[in-house]
Chains A and B, each alone.
Chain A
Amino acid sequence: MTAAVEARGVERRYGSLVALADLTFEAEAGEILGVLGPNGAGKTSAIRVLTTILAPTQGTFAVGGVPHTRPAEIRRRIGVLPESAGYPERQTGEEFLRYHARLYGRGRAEAAAVAVSLLDEVGLAERGRSLVSTYSRGMRQRLGIARALVNEPQVVFLDEPTLGLDPAGQRQILRTVRRIAEERGATILLSTHLLAEVEETCSRVLILNRGRVAAHGTVAEVAAKAAAPRTGRLAVPPGQADAALRALAAVAVVEASADGRPGLIAVRLTSGDSMNDAVRAVLDAGVTLLSSELEGARLSDAFLAMTEAA
């Protein structure tokens, strides 16, 4: 089956500055692909190239099966929420969506119906006739997502959709993103720096660093690839914390430190089985072990490892 998005060796230069180098990946139909990277990694450049705003300096790509040499056709099949999207302050939300629907070739009546339906879908039905200038940041982002859906796209590119939103707003946006993928079957490329949300929302992740692909795969694959050390926590009675720390100091595969809360000790394990060694050492020292927790390898750990090391 043809991938929804395919990139092969895509490069984008600005003079001598290489914003993207050898970008190669695939996004399958219906999946949510998280695009991660630190500032300046090339996420926005990648999205702008794939959405035909910028031409690649080298390489090829296809979106929805359409090669990059037919940009107008690609634009018909995609929806985009740009990172720095602005909105016309003197239009209402409904007018804005109606206009863009008409730009995609819909008639007046159809465009009006699409606008009303999309406003309802993103939770702006009651504010559709208000001027965009009265919208909050979160409302504007939702309006932007609605605009990205106006042509019923096969592939949706969302560049930092939660930027500048409070946690509640972020959750709302991500719920909308999941719903779009589930109900519409669209492929979503979600560029964000919120790692926890990528872990929750995305089926696969693409990590960019300095214009290059640092990792690509499922969250678990990417986390494992980094061979990030695992972490855990041991709970002991507060009065026995020092004894526990002394016991753990003798275990070579464990780095222990007080967690800050009385009786809680954070451990950093340098090998897969060293939690057992840590527990045994504490018990052998006569310390009462109240509980132990082992945390899985986090995407954030992998992300930091890959982007700091390069």
Chain B
Amino acid sequence: MRRVALVALLLLAAAAPAHAVAGVAVTNDRTEITTKIGRHVIFHSRIANRGNAPVSGLVAHLNVVDLTGRTYVDPEDWSSHRTRYLAPIPAGGSVSLAWPMNAVNAGTIGLYVAVLPRTGPPVRPATSPTVRLRVLDRKTLNSGGILPLALGIPAALGLLTLGVRRSRQGG
């Protein structure tokens, strides 16, 4: 019985993916950000190598997720630099990454960073805690104010054109 359990454990260990980014921890400098639509925000992640050997070939990716189920999210709109290819991290060392974001839509957005190796067998990525990004709505466009502009400029130019033509012809 004990032999069967041991074989089963060994088989399970072989089947479950090994944590190839073992020793890699991802943390963020913030857990919550509140901003208004149209603003830029930045948060920072630190990828630390807590293992005994240097680790290389890692790629960090920022994920953007709508937490409300009501906000349309195209990650490319929120950040156009979501994938970073990391230089080797020595044992005990770390690298800091800055993630500039555009607050594109109002709502609550979840942000997290996943770090995974570029090569090797499939492994579970190391992920950061989620950063909650609350984007408050604000009116970015005053539609009422457009009419004077849309009418006024052509009207002014039209009057100027007519005036110049009249004065030339009358001369």
Determine the chain A residues whose CB is within 8 A of the CB of B168 once the complex forms: 90, 131
Q: Is B169 an interface residue (CB 8 A)?
A: yes
In the complex, A176 Cα to B143 Cα: how many Å? Answer: 67
Q: Is A129 an interface residue (CB 8 A)?
A: yes
Contact surface of A with B, Cβ cutoff 8 Å: 90, 92, 129-131
The 5 A-B pairs at the shortest CB distance, nearest first, are namely: A129-B171, A92-B171, A131-B168, A130-B171, A131-B169
7 A-B pairs whose Cβ atoms sit less than 8 Å apart in the complex:
A90-B168, A92-B171, A129-B171, A130-B171, A131-B168, A131-B169, A131-B171
In the complex, A214 Cα to B168 Cα: how many Å? Answer: 50
In the complex, A271 Cα to B23 Cα: how many Å? Answer: 131
Give the shortest distance, in Å, between A91 (CB) and chain B (any CB): 9
In the complex, A129 Cα to B171 Cα: how many Å? Answer: 5
Give the shortest distance, in Å, between A8 (CB) and chain B (any CB): 49
In the complex, A90 Cα to B171 Cα: how many Å? Answer: 11
In the complex, A9 Cα to B171 Cα: how many Å? Answer: 50
In the complex, A130 Cα to B168 Cα: how many Å? Answer: 8
Which residue from chain A places its CB closest to the CB of B171 in the assembled complex? A129
Which residue from chain B places its CB closest to the CB of A95 in the assembled complex? B171
Determine the chain B residues whose CB is within 8 A of the CB of A129 once the complex forms: 171
Give the shortest distance, in Å, between A192 (CB) and chain B (any CB): 33
Contact surface of B with A, Cβ cutoff 8 Å: 168-169, 171
Determine the chain B residues whose CB is within 8 A of the CB of A90 once the complex forms: 168
Which residue from chain B places its CB closest to the CB of A91 in the assembled complex? B168
Determine the chain A residues whose CB is within 8 A of the CB of B171 once the complex forms: 92, 129-131
Give the shortest distance, in Å, between A186 (CB) and chain B (any CB): 31
Determine the chain B residues whose CB is within 8 A of the CB of A92 once the complex forms: 171
In the complex, A131 Cα to B171 Cα: how many Å? Answer: 7
Determine the chain A residues whose CB is within 8 A of the CB of B169 once the complex forms: 131
In the complex, A130 Cα to B171 Cα: how many Å? Answer: 5
In the complex, A191 Cα to B13 Cα: how many Å? Answer: 110
Which residue from chain A places its CB closest to the CB of B168 in the assembled complex? A131
Which residue from chain A places its CB closest to the CB of B169 in the assembled complex? A131
Give the shortest distance, in Å, between A93 (CB) and chain B (any CB): 10
In the complex, A264 Cα to B7 Cα: how many Å? Answer: 147
Give the shortest distance, in Å, between B167 (CB) and chain A (any CB): 11
In the complex, A92 Cα to B170 Cα: how many Å? Answer: 11
In the complex, A47 Cα to B11 Cα: how many Å? Answer: 106
Give the shortest distance, in Å, between B131 (CB) and chain A (any CB): 65
Which residue from chain B places its CB closest to the CB of A128 in the assembled complex? B171
Give the shortest distance, in Å, between A10 (CB) and chain B (any CB): 44
Give the shortest distance, in Å, between B73 (CB) and chain A (any CB): 58
In the complex, A131 Cα to B169 Cα: how many Å? Answer: 7
In the complex, A130 Cα to B169 Cα: how many Å? Answer: 7
In the complex, A129 Cα to B169 Cα: how many Å? Answer: 10
